[in-house]
Amino acid sequence: MQLIECPWCGPREEVEFHYGGQAHVPYPDNPAEVSDEEWAHYVFFRDNTKGRFAERWNHTAGCRRWFNAIRDTATYRFERVYRLDGPKPVTP
Amino acid sequence: MTSTFRATDGGRIDRSATVDFTFDGQVYTGHPGDTLASALLAAGRHQIATSIKLGRPRGIAAAWAEDPGGLVQIEEPFPEPMLLATTVELHEGLAAHGLPGQGRLAEVPDSARYDAVHHHVDVLVVGAGPAGLAAALTAARAGARVALVDEQSEAGGSLLGGTDRLDDAPALEWVTAAVAELAGHPDVLHLQRTTAFGSYDDGFVLALERRTDHLGTAAPKHISRQRVWRLRARSIVVATGAHERPVVFADNDRPGIMLAGAARTFLHHYGVLPGREAVVFTTNDSAYDAALDLHRAGVRVQAVVDARPEGSPRRREECERAGIRVLPGAVVTGTRGVERVTHALVAPFADGDVGAGSAIACDLLLVSGGWNPAVHLFSQARGRLRYDEALGAFLPGEELDGLSVTGAAAGVFDLAGCLADGRRVARAALTAQTIDPAGVDRLPTAPEPVVPTAPLVLWRVPDTSGAEGSTSFVDLQRDATVADIARAVGAGLRSIEHIKRYTTIGTAHDQGKTSGVLTSGITAELLGIPVQATGTTTFRPPYTPVAFAALAGRDRGRLFDPERVTSLHDWHVAAGAVFEDVGQWKRPRYYPRPGEDMEAAVLRECAAARTGVGILDGSTLGKIDVQGPDAAVLLDRLYTNMMSSLKVGSVRYGVMCGVDGMVIDDGTVLRLAEDRFLVLTTTGGAAKILDWMEEWAQTEWPDLRVHCTSVTEQWNTFPVVGPRSRDVIGAVFPQVDVSNEAFPFMAWRDTTLDGVPVRLARISFSGELAFEVYVSPWYGVAVWQRLLEAGHRYGITPYGTETMHVLRAEKGYPIIGQDTDGTVTPQDLGMEWAISKKKADFVGKRSFARRANQDPLRKQLVGLLPVDRRTVLPEGSQIVELHADGQLPPPPVPMLGHVTSSYRSAELARPFALALVKGGRSRIGDTVHVPVNGTLVPVEVTGSVLVDPEGARRDG
Amino acid sequence: MAELLRTHPLEAWHVAFERLPDTARIAVEPFVAMVDVRLGAVGPEVRAGLGVDLPTIANTWVPADAGRATWLGPDEWLLSSTAETPEEFESRVRAAVLPLGGSATDVSAQRIGLRLTGARVRDVLTKGCSIDLHPRVFGRGSSVQTMLGQAGVVLLALSDAGDDYVVLVRSSFAGYLADWLLDAALEFITPDS
């Protein structure tokens, strides 16, 4: 049972959280103006990184806040968590 | 039977009392403190069962969880399969029999309780041997929160099976004092009979405590029999000791062949002599202790057979002083005997070659091939192992954050070293946690360790029996031999993981505790590669088997899955409701009257709602309070409809889509104020839609000034439905003008009832005139009763979800998740009217323009009327089309779609269905077919609204 | 017509609660007004309006005039009051936070409260709560939103001795949680008592 560090509540068991997929995939500014292909990329396509991955988590059983995390998809290790208004950390 | 193999003194058993038990139908007597194995050995019984594949007699070969031979089935007090005789504590009335590798589950429910407890500590110590006790004492004295768990019935570990001394006194006196000291620390949790069976992420360890198993029928019923401890530790100290490793030779599986250390444990821990005439076969010094101790206890030790060319000069001298013959440079090449070993075949051994041998009579053959540190928990925590050439064993090969290994598990085998090392790792753990380890932590003085003669790493004795390794057993539980490994290697397998699966070695009850490293060694030999290159198979939890009942814990029966109920639940029960599960909710499905089945009850309830008045407990609907200056903006972006134009006091139906344009939920929205809305979701969508709204508000549009709060349980919701609903509402709420003019369809009004706030809304999920009554659940029962009283004269009829479904389906109202499946757009549902043309964007809008969503052959929601006016089409049925000649197309028959909802209609006096059908709206009027029980039922495709398509009834 | 009577979802559990020993008492908390408050930034003006300092330290609660203010999230609190009706309480709080860009929602019936007292209630809670409840870590003033068994709860510590807690649970889960707690407390009832 892994612990995930909620930026607000502190470390909690992973079952208190829901996964929200890749982070930093903004809703297109003007969907009407993007091509079908660009739109399909927004709707359906996500990176499938092995290693450090920026992703969204929600502390559903706690404060219900969304936050971002850098997690290693090979080891499951959370390297850091950061708030939504923070920039994507530069990872080596 | 009497215990003729009981030593005259010694052991941790209570000789003043006896315990009667039954094994294989025969009554035996043992003592409190015995295990089933020790009591059987005391009676001279070694054989437990026959082997799983070959039917060879097998007996007790070790003293604890590593035993590959002594599987038993417990019959009394409660049937339980696949336990080891060596770990079953004896209690009065125990009945068991030997198992050939497979057991039988109980046929009656287990009435024992099982539970789980979460516990947090600074330092978790696994194993209460000398290293573990030293670590636990060090941590406890520093004031740390400590848990010490150990799988045996009492602390001491290896000290229980030996004659060690500390501070010039028996070492167990120190153990007793240490346990007493730990008990004096309020923040120390010390658990015996507790096996740490898995180590996971972030200091999480699962341990199984056997709380009352040893009490047998005397176990109190209100105490859990077993408990899973969910331990969360900042530091873990693994002090789990080592398992003795056998040497493989021909016919090494006979009862009476036992690990040398196990025999010593049976003697010292249980006061049992495992035989009368022993041969000891070893590759290292440790087995000499067994030879000498058994000799002193009266066992005739025929010979110590030492595979090392020179043996151990010092230990040889000790033996010869005691009159024990030592044969250095010799091995056991085979055995004789059937149900018990009778002879060991001993031969000279030099440079890997075996000379001519001779037979030595014995009823006990003790074997030691060295020691395998129990690195299971370290390895489960993804610790890398390294092969130690000198020990012939795998040791922890790296430092892990928060987990350290000490004592024999780390390759430290002398008592003084274990004590010092236990203290060292505990201090390091404390320091890492910034807990000051300074303080009193005196440890007892152990005798100066004697440097042993180097062991010989010997996996197997060359098979001179002619059986070519086919009786040289590596994994006794799987009847897997050296020949099987050779066959695997011969078949081209190289990976130890593949060899494990090919030979099944290590897959049985003991998970390879004695066979795993042997397999690595023998495989490396056969492949001619270093053992390090072969490695080990992956260590996976659980370390020892754990019953499913223990893992289930208290999540059984009523507590298996929460049942959510509304404040009306007791009323529904009293009214005789038949319930259905809707997610976790228990909802009344229908209220049968005496003699009614579901069909009759639902037809009656439907008729009441269509012709008189019905009432439903709709309180499970999800409700979300949306507040803030930008509340309307958020709803405009999430609903396909325009919500910002909704007037305060009005209600609008809305549809929500995912970004892919597929419908995810629907419901009504009440505008309470300019900056406040009440959003109603489906029962199943409540949590999901709140999360969805929060997701967008928090992650995409944090600039919006809006807050969403769940109020699902803040309001009871009672739809009062039917042409007489206005009469009922008007009677209960006389201050409300319920006329159509004053209170139109899709409007809401606040009022009070005896001072209690009530909200009324003209919302209809049936097409009939209807009012929804919203009130705090504090008063829910009282208001429901008032509605019933007022409706009595109109025959007000409580109805359940089944009637609700029929009424809504007759009107073509889809249920999201039943008539849709995540691939259905609002257009597919015929709901273009609910899609705003004015809004520049909303979630899902852009996807409507995707080509796939413009396809005229998309599945669309339509109605189906079985032509025979009798058949109720099973939901989920496929829809097919016949050729012009009336024949089915050749297989595979194209599927046009499927039935999503299907009911018998009181109103239509015939069954009907809703269905998703390819190009469905263009097929209205066509006849298609639905296979039902092997018959093709012709059905007419219709529009989805079958009752009151003009909507004339909603105003009464 | 008679006055409308209130009903509590755990009325049927009273008898079972009565049988519990002093070491593991469970009592149903009376109905209280509760409001969920959302507010971006907490300044002195909040105290002026609400009469209580909203706690800004995560996982804490503070006593308020006639109730409590419990931190639920970085911009969310649960306020309770025994002195006002739900409607009055919501109106007052809403009036106080609306000018500050906040919101307030009556959630009085959304949850019910249980008071757990006694030397063994911590042992009852640890059977289904993964949070460290050691009094050194979770003493008076601590609170947490987490799972207890399979129900989401807000758990408040009322003492520094680990023997006094309030559990708030969604009303629809009240029966499940009551059953769960009674089952967890079973081992602390001596069979002949």
Q: Measure B268 CA to nearest chain C CA, in Å.
A: 36
C22 touches chain B (CB under 8 A): no
DSSP sequence for chain C: -PPPPP--TTGGGHHHHHTS-GGGEEEEPPP-EEEEEE-S---HHHHHHHSSPPP-STTBEEEETTEEEEEEETTEEEEEESSS-HHHHHHHHHHHHGGGT-EEEE-TTTEEEEEEESTTHHHHHTTT--S---TTTS-TTBEEEEEETTEEEEEEE--SSS-EEEEEEEGGGHHHHHHHHHHHHGGGS-TT-
Last residue in a domain, options C106, C130, C151 = C106
Name the closest residue on chain B to residue A83, using Cα atoms.
B699
B517 close to B480: Cβ distance less than 8 angstroms: no
CATH of B568-619+715-807, picked from 3.90.1150.10, 3.20.20.140, 3.40.50.1470, 3.30.1360.120, is: 3.30.1360.120
C18 in contact with B, Cβ within 8 Å? no
Strand B614-615 relative to strand B716-721: parallel, antiparallel, unpaired? antiparallel
Pair (C26, C114) in one structural domain: yes
Label residue B674 by pLDDT band (50, 70, 90). Answer: very high
* Contact state of A1 with C72 under an 8 Å Cβ cutoff: no
pLDDT tops 60 at residue C1: no
Average pLDDT of chain B, as a whole number: 95
Q: Residue C193 has what pLDDT?
A: 45
**Mean pLDDT (whole number) for B95-109:** 91
User: What pLDDT is recorded for position C42?
Assistant: 78
User: Which of B691, B698, B702 has its CB closest to that of A60?
Assistant: B691
Q: What are B318-369's pLDDT values in tens digits?
A: 999 999 999 999 999 999 999 999 999 999 999 999 999 999 999 999 999 9
Give contacts of A1 with chain C, Cβ < 8 Å. Answer: 130
Chain A CA closest to residue C148: A61
**What residue segments make up the domains of chain B, in order of their start?**
1-109, 459-529, 568-619+715-807, 622-710, 855-955
C72/chain A closest Cα distance in angstroms: 6
Q: pLDDT by residue (tens digit) across A14-68?
A: 999 999 999 999 999 999 999 999 999 999 999 999 999 999 999 999 999 999 9
Q: Residue C164: give its domain's CATH number.
A: 3.30.1360.120
Asked whether residue C192 carries a pLDDT value surpassing 90, the answer given is: no
> What's the number of CA atoms in the CB half-sphere (13 Å) around residue C119?
5
Measured distance between the N- and C-terminal CA atoms of chain C, rounded to whole angstroms: 45
Q: Are C25 and C43 part of one and the same domain?
A: no
The predicted structure's pLDDT at residue B513 = 93
Mean pLDDT of B505-525: 94
> How many Cβ pairs closer than 8 A exist between chain B and C?
141
Distance from CA of C132 to the nearest CA of A (A): 10
Q: What is the pTM of this model?
A: 0.95
Provide, as residue numbers in chain B, all residues whose Cβ is less than 8 Å from the Cβ of A59: none
Residues B678 and B607 sit within 8 Å (Cβ to Cβ) = no
Asked if the model's pLDDT at residue B1 lies above 60, the reply is no
A contact test, residue of B231, B401, B699 with most A CBs within 10 A: B699
Residues of A in contact with B841 (CB under 8 A): 30-32
Buried b (16+ CB within 10 A) or exposed e, B725-757: bbbbbbbbbeebebeeeebebbbbbebebeebb
Q: How confident is the model at residue A91 (pLDDT cuts 50, 70, 90)?
A: low
Asked if C145 and A10 come within 8 Å (Cβ–Cβ), the reply is: no
Q: What is the pLDDT of residues C155-182, one digit of tens each?
A: 999 999 999 999 999 999 999 999 999 9
Is a pLDDT exceeding 90 seen at residue C56?
A: yes
d(CA C84, CA C104): 15
User: Are A1 and B840 a contacting pair at CB < 8 A?
Assistant: no
Q: What pLDDT digit, counting tens, does each position of B204-214 carry?
A: 999 999 999 99
Are both C25 and C37 inside the same structural domain? no
Q: Report whether B283 contacts B367 (CB < 8 A).
A: no
CB contact under 8 A, B700 and A40: no
Identify whether C1 is part of a domain.
Answer: no
Closest residue of chain A to C78, computed from CA coordinates: A63
The residue length of chain A stands at: 92
Least confident piece of the model among B261-270, B505-514, C104-113: B505-514
Q: Find residues 157-186 of chain C whose CB sits inside 8 Å of chain B.
A: 170-173, 175-177, 179-180, 183-184, 186
> What is the distance in angstroms between the Cα of A20 and the nearest Cα belonging to chain B?
9
Number of folded domains that form chain C = 2
Minimal Cα–Cα distance from A31 to chain C, Å? 30
Return residues 116-135 of C near B (CB < 8 Å): 123, 126-132, 134
Same domain, C101 and C40: yes
Query: Which domains can be identified in chain A, with CATH numbers?
Result: 3-82 (3.30.2270.10)
Q: What is the mean pLDDT of residues B381-387?
A: 95
Could you tell me if C116 and C22 lie in one domain?
yes
Band (pLDDT 50/70/90 cuts) for residue B752 is very high
Render pLDDT for B130-180 as a digit per residue (tens, 0 to 9): 999 999 999 999 999 999 999 999 999 999 999 999 999 999 999 999 999
Class of domain B855-955: mainly beta
Contacts of C148 in chain A (CB under 8 A): none
Residue C142 pLDDT > 60, yes or no?
yes
**Which helix (H) or strand (E) element contains residue B805?**
helix B801-810
Report the share of chain B in percent with pLDDT over 70. 99
- Report pLDDT digits (tens) over B49-88: 999 999 999 999 999 999 998 999 999 999 999 999 999 9
Chain-chain contact of C187 with B754 (C-beta, under 8 angstroms): no
Of the residues C106, C138, C161, the one at which a domain ends: C106
| Overall CATH class of domain B459-529 | mainly alpha
* CATH value at residue C94: 3.30.70.1520
- For residue A78, the one-letter residue type is F
**Interface pTM, i.e. ipTM:** 0.97
Q: CA–CA separation, B800 vs B575, rounded Å?
A: 12
Q: pLDDT digit string (tens) for B892-934? A: 999 999 999 999 998 999 999 999 999 999 999 999 999 999 9
In a domain, C5, yes or no: no
What percent of chain B has pLDDT above 90? Answer: 95
CATH class, range B1-109: alpha beta
B143 or B450: which leads in pLDDT: B143
Nearest to B374 by CA among B516, B161, B535, B494: B516
**Which of C58, C146, C147 is closest, CB to CB, to A8?**
C58
Could you please state the CATH topology (level 3) that the domain comprising B622-710 is classified under: Alpha-Beta Plaits (3.30.70)
Q: Do C116 and C151 reside in the same domain of the chain?
A: yes
- pLDDT tens by residue, B677-697: 999 999 989 999 999 999 999
Domain assignment present for residue C55? The answer is: yes
pLDDT digits (tens, 9 = 90+) for B422-433: 999 999 999 999
How many CB atoms are closer than 10 A to CB B323?
A: 9
Do the Cβ atoms of B810 and B907 come closer than 8 Å? yes
For residue C6, being part of any structural domain is answered with no
Q: Which residue of C has its CA nearest to A1?
A: C130
Domain boundary among the residues C62, C78, C106 is at C106
Say whether pLDDT at C35 is over 90.
yes
Contact B68, B476 (CB under 8 A): yes
Strands (E), B675-779: 676-681, 707-710, 716-721, 748-753, 756-761, 770-775
- Residues of chain C found within 8 Å of residue B693, distances taken between Cβ atoms: none
Chains with 3+ CB–CB pairs under 8 A to C are A, B
Q: How far is CA B485 from CA A81, B498, B837, C87, in A?
A: 48, 11, 73, 78
Judge contact between C77 and C39, C-beta under 8 A. Answer: yes
Judgement on whether residues C101 and C164 belong to the same structural domain of the protein: no
What range does the domain containing C128 cover? 11-30+110-186
Pairs of residues, one from chain A and one from chain B, whose beta carbons lie less than 8 Å apart: 58
Per-residue model confidence as pLDDT tens digits over B477-510: 999 999 999 999 999 999 999 999 999 999 998 8
